[in-house]
C-alpha cells in the first residue's frame, strides 16, 4: 500500500490502466466484489474522498466516474439476487440512492374563515 502524497497520473490512459488492473484483480479473487474503498486504495488514495477530489480534475473526471458507475452497477445487480439486498442497499445509499419518496408541493393555500367579523 502506498503512503504519502496522493497519486499523480499523467494521462487518462495511465489512470484507466490502473483502474482496469483493479477490476482484473477483483475478477480473479473468489467471492470478491469491487468496492469504492478498494478502488481508491488500489489507485493510491488514502480515502474515497481523496478519489472524489481527484475526480474534480476535468481531465480524469469521466474515467473515475465511469469506474464508480461500474461498481454501482455491481451493487444494483445484487438487489436482484435473493438474500443479497441488505448490503447492496447500504452500498447504493453511498451512491446517493434513496429509499424514500420526496414530494414537492407548489402553490398556495387559501384559508377562508367566515367566523371573523
Predicted pLDDT of residue 4? 60
Distance of CA 41 to the CA centre of its chain: 15
Predicted pLDDT of residue 116? 66
Q: What are 56-102's pLDDT values in tens digits?
A: 999 999 999 999 999 999 888 887 777 777 777 777 787 777 877 67
What's the pTM?
A: 0.72
Q: What are 15-34's pLDDT values in tens digits?
A: 999 999 999 999 988 878 89
Q: Which candidate, 34, 38, 37, places its Cα nearest to that of 48?
A: 37
Domain regions of the chain by residue span: 12-93
Amino acid at each position: 500500500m502506498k503512503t504519502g502524497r496522493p497519486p499523480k497520473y499523467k494521462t487518462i490512459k495511465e489512470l484507466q490502466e490502473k483502474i482496469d488492473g483493479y477490476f482484473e484483480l477483483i475478477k480473479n479473487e473468489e467471492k470478491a466484489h469491487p468496492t469504492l474503498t478498494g478502488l481508491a486504495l488500489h489507485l493510491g488514495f488514502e480515502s474515497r474522498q481523496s478519489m472524489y477530489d481527484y475526480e474534480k480534475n476535468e481531465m480524469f473526471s469521466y474515467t473515475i466516474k465511469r469506474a464508480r458507475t461500474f461498481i454501482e452497477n455491481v451493487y444494483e445487480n445484487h438487489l436482484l439476487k435473493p438474500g443479497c439486498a441488505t448490503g447492496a442497499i447500504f452500498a447504493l445509499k453511498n451512491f446517493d440512492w434513496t429509499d424514500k419518496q420526496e414530494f414537492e408541493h407548489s402553490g398556495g393555500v387559501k384559508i377562508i374563515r367566515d367566523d371573523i367579523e
